[in-house]
Amino acid sequence: MLNGAACAEELRDQKREEFAKVPIARAELDKAQALGAKLRSRVQALLFRAVSARKQTQAANALQAFFNLSPASLCRAVEGLISRATQKAREIVSSALDPAALSAEMKAAALQAEGKGTARGGTTAAGLKVVSIVGGMLDDVLLCCAELLHVQVVLGKKRDPLSGRSLAYHLEEQPQWKQGGADSLFSTFWGPLSNLVSERLQEVFTGSRSVRQVRRSHTVEPAEG
């Protein structure tokens, strides 16, 4: 069924103007297009689930299905995965490294600790809160990174049965990625993510007085001599 939809779509694209003049042919091609859209939706859902669970066989089958539709469909599917991971990572980082929210969390932890002990205990509690929030953020971001690394591995291992070439090879044959290869496709995630984390950390250190205080209290002065 999937190959049939792919052939129909390819035929439609090649003979679009000719078929547009034949009502019966146009109606059948519209049905094929609707079927292709339905199949894409199902395969996309399978791909997201497989990547989230890091199941190589399911991810490979879903990516192969997109390639069977067309190499361009495979490219769009991978771009969709990168866009999904990018959005998720940005939301994680932006939420965790919000200066105002982080300061509020630290103050609440400090007040709770000071109610039970000394002011020094409050500073320690605030510092531990920072460590907890940033540590949780890194864990969640690393999960996004792991998903995309999983996709890269699958693309490199999975071979198209007809051509014998890896899906990564076919991906790199696409005009927009031919020069830099598949790595350039995934760099659209790694580079901006690194910049975002650096920028938000800088905002936190300059915009949160509580963070600066904790940072100073945990800074080890270099030994003299």
Which whole number is the average pLDDT over 36-49? Answer: 85
Q: Which domain holds residue 125?
A: 2-217
According to DSSP, residue 117 is labeled S
Assess if residue 53 is contained within a domain.
yes
Assess if residue 222 is contained within a domain.
no
Assess if residue 140 is contained within a domain.
yes
Assess if residue 202 is contained within a domain.
yes
Identify the residue whose tokens are 């460590």.
131
Which whole number is the average pLDDT over 166-181? Answer: 79
Assess if residue 225 is contained within a domain.
no
Q: Count the neighbouring beta carbons within 10 Å of the beta carbon of residue 223.
A: 5
When mean pLDDT is compared across 47-51, 158-162, 183-187, the lowest value belongs to 183-187
pLDDT at 4: 44
CA torsion, ordered 113, 117, 123, 129, to nearest 10 deg? -30
When mean pLDDT is compared across 50-54, 150-154, 179-183, the lowest value belongs to 179-183
**Structural domains in the chain (count):** 1
pLDDT tens for each residue of 78-110:
999 999 999 999 999 988 888 888 888 888 888
Can you list the alpha helix ranges (DSSP code H) found in 54-163? 56-69, 71-96, 99-114, 119-157
Assess if residue 58 is contained within a domain.
yes
**What pTM did the predictor assign?**
0.71
* Cα→Cα distances 115→69, 110, 121, Å: 64, 9, 9
pLDDT at 5: 45
